[in-house]
Amino acid sequence: MALVMLLANGFEEIEALGTLDLLRRAGVETTTCTLNTTPLTLGAHGVAVEAELCLTELDSARFDGVILPGGLDGSRNLAATQGVLELIREYDAAGKLVCAICAAPALVLTAAGLLPGRPATCYPAPDFTAALGEGYRREKAVVSGNLITAEGPGRFKDFARAIVVKAKGEDAARQTFADALLED
């Protein structure tokens, strides 16, 4: 399974980089892709990341799913990009993974028309939870078919684990997290 992680200026670094690290440890092919015209993307806390692709180079057929890190500005930038919304809709319609954490479920998935109505979680701020409507669940991570959502920065481990389980199975997730000393 090959996944693409979309990075917009203002992305939440721990959600993106922590998830990316755990996915790659598990052997899940994960490619970073920036919305910018150059590879450099600046996170919410000033961490600069050089992405492997720019959105204009993205071949959507190459990937089996998309990962959307949160961060308020990053999520706003993702939601304001028509190409991102089209990609999310295309992947969801095809049953491919659509994974979003923190502000991204409320801002990006709702802008793409995927929510409300499906079980999901997001950062537990009133405006965000209201955007998810009656599908909102106060859980660390929620898996609903091809949709994976998680609460926020401290839940990146739960988010990554849910993605690894979908991509590689429970045994791979258990082994990856044990090797990284993240399993109790």
**Selected catalytic residue, list 33, 54, 99, 102:** 102
**What Cα–Cα distance (Å) separates residue 48 from each residue in 5, 8, 9, 85?**
15, 11, 9, 24
Per-residue 3-state assignment (H helix, E strand, C coil) for the chain? CEEEEEECCCCCHHHHHHHHHHHHHCCCEEEEEECCCCCEEECCCCCEEECCEEHHHCCHHHCCEEEECCCHHHHHHHHCCHHHHHHHHHHHHCCCEEEEECHHHHHHHHHCCCCCCCCECCCCCHHHHHHHHHHECCCCEEEECCEEEECCHHHHHHHHHHHHHHHHCHHHHHHHHHHCCCCC
pLDDT in tens, 93-134: 999 999 999 999 999 999 999 997 899 999 999 999 999 999
Amino acid, single-letter form, for residue 82: Q
**Cβ count near 25 (within 10 Å):** 17
pLDDT in tens, 3-15: 999 999 999 999 9
Task: Domains for the chain: give ranges and CATH numbers.
Answer: 2-179 (3.40.50.880)
**CA dist., res. 90 & res. 63, Å (int):** 11
For the question of residue 122 being annotated catalytic, the response is: no
Q: What string of pLDDT tens digits covers the 184 residues of the chain?
A: 999 999 999 999 999 999 999 999 999 999 999 999 999 999 999 999 999 999 999 999 999 999 999 999 999 999 999 999 999 999 999 999 999 999 999 999 999 999 978 999 999 999 999 999 999 999 999 999 999 999 999 999 999 999 999 999 999 999 999 999 997 6
- Verdict on whether the full-model pTM lies above 0.75: yes
From the list 152, 162, 105, 115, the residue with the least C-alpha distance to 135 is 115
Tokens of 146: 């091809």
Residue with tokens 């892709």: 33
